[in-house]
Structures are given as C-alpha cells and as structure tokens.
Amino acid sequence: MYNRLILSALAILISIFLMACSTATTQQPQPQTPAITASSNNQKIAKRVVSLSSLATDIIYQLDKTKLVGIAGNSLFKNEPGFKDIPRVSEGQTPPSLEKIVALKPDLVIGIEGFSTQVIQKLQELKIPTLLTQLKTWDSLENLTQKLGDLIGANPEPLLTRYKSFLPEKQEQNISTLVLVSNQPILTPNKSSWAGSLLEKFQLKNVAAELQGKSPFGGYVTLSAEKVLDVNPDTIIVINPPQATSNKEILESFSKEAFWQKLKATQNNRVYIFDYYGLVNPGSINAIEKTCQQLKKRFICSNLI
C-alpha cells in the first residue's frame, strides 16, 4: 500500500509539473502562428479540430461536437459514450503522435503550454493553425470558452451561464483552508494556481495563498511540518490522485505524520477528500462542476463558520 501511495504522489507531482512548465505569467490562452483570425468581420471558422487538452476537448464537445475530429486519450472520457468514436492521437502520458494528428487533416490543433509545445512547433512548421492554452484562474476558463466559441463559430453563452451556476452566491467566509496535494513532500497550492483561484471564488481563506517557495511546480509551494502546525487551518482538503487510491489509504498516509493529530482540523473532524481532477487539474467541465458541488456541500451548506 505504501509503495502505491508513493507512486500516486509521484504521478500527481509529474502532472502538476507538466501543467506548470510554461511561463508563469502567461494566464490566458494565446494563439500561435499561423494564427486564426478572431475578428468578427473576417474570421476563419475551424471545422476540423484536434484537441490535446481534456478541458478544451470537453468545451468544444459541448459547443459543437461535430468540429472535434481527434483528441488525446484521457481517463475522464474513457467511459463516456459520446467520445467513444473520436480518434485518439495519444494515450495517458504518451506524447501526441504527429503522424496521427496530420492524418486527420485538422484546421486547428489545441495544445497545453509546457506539455504539447514540441508537437505544436512541428505543426506550425507544417502551417497548421494551433492554439496553446494555460488555465490557472476562473477568468481564464471563461476566456478560453469564449475564444474556442469564436474559433469554431459556436455560441459560448449557454456554457458560460452554466459555469455561473457552479459558484455560490456572494457571501463572506472566514474558513481557513489548507489543500494538501501530497505529503512527501507536503505540497499545497498558493493563489497562483487553479486550486487557489477556485478557493478564492468560494471566499475560502487559503492559508497558503501568499506563500512562496522553491517548489519546481508553478503555483505550488512545499511546506514543513512546522509550517503546517503554524498555519493550523480550520479545514483541510486532501487530494486523491487520479489512480483512485481509496480515501482510507490517503488519510492513513497522512495520519502517520507526527503533526497530523495536533491540527485543529483533524481534531474537529474537518478533513475532506477531493479528487485531483476538478480542484488541482480542471480536467473537464463535469469535474469542475462536481468539485464546486462538493465545495458548496462542505463549506457553504454545513455551517462551518
């Protein structure tokens, strides 16, 4: 069990690293040359899209699934019947196949900064229009949806309206919260991350929001046991890795740490398990919605204040 938890933690760290390889200051998706004109008067509509991003895949599917001709394999869509017949250009952490992408004759390929960069550069050399995306804030989710709607000639408003339903009504919260992505090392998101942005949207006080450190993962910092005891949050969110390790095993791995039972959240039974997809990696629209529902249930409707 211990070895499996170590492997799960390593998988999360690698995934975060892949998402964070790009320049940290680039918040919004930027079109890469050759660019597709986004002007409402002179816009070339993409009709054959290959998406290497699970979130972009889901957004395009919701906007106009007929435009999606190829996707990267992802566990989020493994059992989704609507995605079953869409060709895969990669599986898991395997790099996308340039040959498979080109064979699909796309007029737009969507990648992820820091992960899809190499294949995107080769596609640019072939004069295939591309778009690299990076998602760290709720605003960047809305901007990406608007951008993709413009590029494929679809109305993004219904989807943008749906996003708004995920969020709580404006209210003051004063619940100090610590998100623990792993315990070896103790890794937590600050404000420059998707998780940090989502906590802010729910008016939760992220105790690591302003912390900076030497972690190689953009938007994340490593903490010492002493620092965790120092911040001593009201609640703790523990991330369950994509490999679907049981909640019991995840909690047992943290309970072995000497500081764990000294924490206010542990003593008050305010430790919650959240999935990796939705909170650490946005993943898909459904994953984001599920996470928001869980945040509402745990922090808005449970009278923790």
Q: Would you say residue 117 has pLDDT above 90? A: no
For residues 132 and 113, is the Cβ–Cβ distance under 8 A? yes
What is the predicted pLDDT for the residue at 44?
Answer: 86
Helix/strand/coil (H/E/C) assignment for every residue in 285-305? HHHHHHHHHHHHHHHHCCCCC
In terms of DSSP bridges, do strands 176-180 and 205-206 run parallel, antiparallel, or are they unpaired? parallel
Average pLDDT estimate for 282-302: 91
Q: How many other β-carbons are positioned within 10 Å of the β-carbon of residue 114?
A: 17
Among candidates 46, 8, 19, 4, which has minimal Cα distance to 283? 19
**Any residues with CB less than 8 A from the CB of 140 and at least 6 apart, and which?**
27, 28, 29, 134
CA angle (56 as vertex; 115, 67 as ends), nearest 5: 120
The model's confidence at residue 3, banded by pLDDT at 50, 70 and 90, is very low
Backbone angles phi, psi at 21, to 5 degrees: -65, -25
Average pLDDT estimate for 72-92: 90
The strand order across the sheet containing 30-32 reads 30-32, 130-133, 108-112, 49-51, 68-72, 88-90
Distance CA 269, CA 87 (A): 46
Backbone angles phi, psi at 183, to 5 degrees: -110, -5
What is the predicted pLDDT for the residue at 89?
Answer: 96
Among candidates 146, 80, 78, 151, which has minimal Cα distance to 109? 151
Helix/strand/coil (H/E/C) assignment for every residue in 201-262? HCCCEECCCCCCCCCCCCCEEEECHHHHHHHCCCEEEEEECCCCCCHHHHHHHHHCCCCHHH
pTM for this prediction: 0.84
For 185-236, write each residue's pLDDT tens digit. Answer: 899 999 999 999 999 999 999 999 999 876 666 799 999 999 999 999 999 9
Q: Would you say residue 245 has pLDDT above 80? A: no
Q: Which residue has the tokens 């990648």?
A: 111
**Domains of the chain, first to last:** 25-166 (3.40.50.1980), 168-300 (3.40.50.1980)
For 88-114, write each residue's pLDDT tens digit. Answer: 999 877 889 999 999 999 999 999 988
Q: Would you say residue 156 has pLDDT above 60? A: yes
